[in-house]
Amino acid sequence: MKEWSARNQLKGTIKKVIHGAVNSEITIELPGGIEITSIITKNSAERLGLKEGVKAYAVIKATSVMIAKD
């Protein structure tokens, strides 16, 4: 994997890909069954060769993360 400045790099397997006209919804399943879904451009998804069963990383970089509860 390439080096990233983001410290949150979660390796998993792509479980679902839904392509739209412009964007694609990519769901990665992490070990233990937790899923992370991201919306990226369709062009990026195709360029990266993202499809079900492919190993991939969810790379998360944020300046803030909000937490809420009921």
Q: Which whole number is the average pLDDT over 54-61?
A: 91
Token pair, residue 27, equals 């769901």
Task: Supply the pLDDT for residue 26.
Answer: 97
3-state secondary structure of 68: coil
With 80 as the cut, is the pLDDT of residue 68 above it?
Answer: yes
- Asked whether residue 66 is domain-assigned, the answer is no
Which residue range(s) make up the domain with 21?
Answer: 8-60
- Asked whether residue 43 is domain-assigned, the answer is yes
Task: Supply the pLDDT for residue 31.
Answer: 95
- Asked whether residue 67 is domain-assigned, the answer is no
Question: What is the number of domains present in the chain?
Answer: 1
- Asked whether residue 68 is domain-assigned, the answer is no
Q: Which whole number is the average pLDDT over 43-70?
A: 89
Q: Which whole number is the average pLDDT over 20-46?
A: 96
Token pair, residue 43, equals 């062009």
Total Cβ atoms within 10 A of residue 45: 21
Task: Supply the pLDDT for residue 2.
Answer: 64
CATH number of domain containing 22: 2.40.50.100
- Asked whether residue 18 is domain-assigned, the answer is yes
| Angle formed at CA 35 by CA 41 and CA 56, multiple of 5 degrees | 55
Task: Supply the pLDDT for residue 3.
Answer: 67
